[in-house]
Structure 1
Amino acid sequence: MSFPVLSAPSSPLPLVELMGRLCLAQMDVAQRLQYLACRLSVGLADSCLRRQLLRRDDSCCVADQVELEERIALLMEAGGEGLVTILGAFIEELTQAHTQCIEASFAAAGVAPVARLSHLPGASLALRVPAAARAFNARG
């Protein structure tokens, strides 16, 4: 069975733009994660220093220790939320870059990108699964 050869996009500019956007997104996420890690390490170092001072001081209150533990917990929670936000924005930016590259690559041919993805003209992209494979499940 031979597959028809699809013509390559007429211009490599969408691919170059994609690589540039991916590189910029990677540098941006690396810088943001490094900044977050630095802020968290400074906060944790400060908390550890305070904890050591509270342990050596006989007149410290239990309330001070509880406040310090709450501060550490808040710092960790904020760090987790920051990480999720940074990675979510990174994934969104990658998705947009790939989508725009595909649209720009196939826009010159005048054909919708989804129509060009099927390997045969008019063929559906449905997966053909043998009946024996459909009958099998994880339980045996």
Structure 2
Amino acid sequence: MGRNLRFWLGAPRTAPFDPGDTPLALGALLLRAQRSDFPEIIGGIVPLEAVLARRYDLTTAEAAEMREACERVEAAAPPGPWFAELLHEVIDPAQRQAMALSLLEAVEAQTPQPDLLRPHVDLMAQTVLGVCPEDLASARQAG
């Protein structure tokens, strides 16, 4: 799981991105955010597995297995913000928006005062997933 995505990350401009790799790519992106800029959200308040399970309708075991695959992808990903920028170019905005909405819903389910964290989730959705707060709010109202 993730072998093709890891290969693609080695030379992304030489081959097209496989849309089937979107779940792993987005999971790896959130894992990168957990390890760098947003540990208080992912891992602190809500485990990555909870977001993955919510987004892809996974069992706890399936989400844990997916996280392991995301860890392998994240380890092969380029350092710094280039990874997020690259994925923003190749992943459908609707997929990124759906992941941001799953993140928001998972945070809301895990904390008694989600409104206090909303600015942090909005910032994470924008900087990590490339989803502006207005689009996240629209997706929430539509969903």
Fold conserved between structures, TM > 0.5: no
RCO higher in structure (CA 8 A, sep ≥6): 1
Q: Indicate the structure (1 or 2) with the bigger Cα radius of gyration.
A: 1
TM-score by length of 2: 0.24
- Report the TM-score when normalising by structure 1: 0.24
